[in-house]
Amino acid sequence: MNVASISINKPLEVIKLNDGKSLTAEILPFGAIIKSIKFNNQEMTLSVDDPQYYLENPFYLGATVGRYANRIAGGCFSLSGTEYQLDTNNGPNSLHGGVKGFNKVLWQVTKQTESEVELYYCSPDGDQGFPGELQIWQTISARNGELTLYFKAITNKETLVNFTNHCYFNLDGSESINKHLVQINTDRYLPIDTTSIPLDEAALVCGTCFDFTKPAQIGEALSTVHPQLEAGNGFDHCYIFNDDSSLKTMATLTSPHTNVSLTLKSTQPGMQFYTANFVGSPFKARQALCFEAQNWPDSPNRENFPKANLLPAEKYEQVISYAFSE
């Protein structure tokens, strides 16, 4: 594409999308942030009115996360025999692309209609320690009660790619997520160590508080004594799915108070389930939760995990969809 033709947007200019029916969304060019999602005029996410908040945004509210979402152990990895060292910004590990990940940069608007916006960012070679110039396009569209994110990326040098969105969902505006019901359509997750890096083997959820194969109240699960809940200070674990390109229905969140449901669908092989354990003012810990469709944590360092590298001859393409109903 002709990058010179891209319009220069104000970082905190609110882009409003709507499906012409029940769904509206507000997008910020800074961080490609989903500032707000409303369904039938009810806010579905943790949202701050003042756009200035999102310049710091310490909890990644609604942010586009990359170049590599989640954690890379020690911030180091190897590609084709070359070792790379990233900055460590989460204890000993690299988290969400580093200190200045894609949540901290200005994306440019390339196309815009009432129901859709396309955003573009070019990450230079060496950005936060990652190799290769990476060009990324993200299209966000609102249709029939569904907000869909389509990611596409190309590189001029072998690199790592793993994007997600970090919306925090609360479907009734309450101060706790405890009474919401969660269903996750897989029976496997990745246990973690004390620094939130996956252990060597996946675990089965059957018979544990990690079992959401049928709808379960999140508060009851959080009140369970389990060493993995202690390790994550709550749920902060990757649930794993088949590593293929199919659009999978991964999870459903329902508020018994409003009867509103959110269904997450994605082409990604994993979903980080995070119960906002470390969120603070102006919100409360566990006031919402995240369904972060993504690759598995620390995949670059695990031969048995889905591949995370992107070659110059390849194109990265992934879809994340949030569908609302009642």
Residue 303 appears among annotated catalytic residues = no
Q: Which amino acid is at 303?
A: E
Task: Tell whether the model's pLDDT for residue 8 goes beyond 90.
Answer: no
Q: What percent of the chain has pLDDT over 90?
A: 95
CA dist 17 and 32 (Å) reads: 14
Is 65 within 8 Å of 103 (Cβ atoms)?
yes
Report helix, strand or coil for 144: coil
Q: How many CB atoms lie within 10 A of CB 114?
A: 11
State mean pLDDT over 264-271: 98
- The tokens describing 23, both together, are 């769904």
Q: Where are the domains of the chain?
A: 3-325
Could you tell me the end-to-end alpha-carbon distance of the chain, in angstroms, rounded to an integer?
40
Strands 76-79 and 82-85: antiparallel
- Residues paired with residue 34 on neighbouring β-strands, in sequence order: 27
The confidence score (pLDDT) of residue 1 equals 36
Return the higher-pLDDT residue of 9 and 77.
77
Residue 180 appears among annotated catalytic residues = no
Q: How many CB atoms lie within 10 A of CB 274?
A: 23
Is 126 within 8 Å of 157 (Cβ atoms)?
no
* CATH class of the domain at 3-325: mainly beta
Distances (CA, A) of 298 to 76, 221, 244, 256, 317: 10, 26, 18, 36, 20
CA dist 75 and 162 (Å) reads: 15
CA dist 42 and 146 (Å) reads: 15
| pLDDT band (50, 70, 90) for residue 2 | very low
Longest dimension (CA), the chain: 56
Tens-place pLDDT, residues 196-221 = 999 989 999 999 999 999 999 999 99
State mean pLDDT over 70-96: 97
Tens-place pLDDT, residues 234-252 = 999 999 999 898 999 999 9
| pLDDT band (50, 70, 90) for residue 9 | low
The confidence score (pLDDT) of residue 5 equals 37
Tens-place pLDDT, residues 179-198 = 999 999 999 999 999 999 99
The whole model's pTM is what?
0.95
Task: Tell whether the model's pLDDT for residue 106 goes beyond 90.
Answer: yes
The confidence score (pLDDT) of residue 133 equals 98
The confidence score (pLDDT) of residue 245 equals 87
The confidence score (pLDDT) of residue 10 equals 79
State mean pLDDT over 78-86: 96
Q: What percent of the chain has pLDDT over 70?
A: 97
CA dist 118 and 88 (Å) reads: 31
Task: Tell whether the model's pLDDT for residue 4 goes beyond 80.
Answer: no
Residues 292, 303, 314, 317: which is the catalytic one? 292
Residues 96, 118, 166, 180: which is the catalytic one? 166
For the chain, give the mean pLDDT. Answer: 95
With left for phi above 0 and alpha for psi between -120 and 50, is residue 44 left, alpha or beta?
alpha
Provide the residue count of the chain. 326
Report helix, strand or coil for 7: strand
DSSP 312: T
| pLDDT band (50, 70, 90) for residue 11 | confident
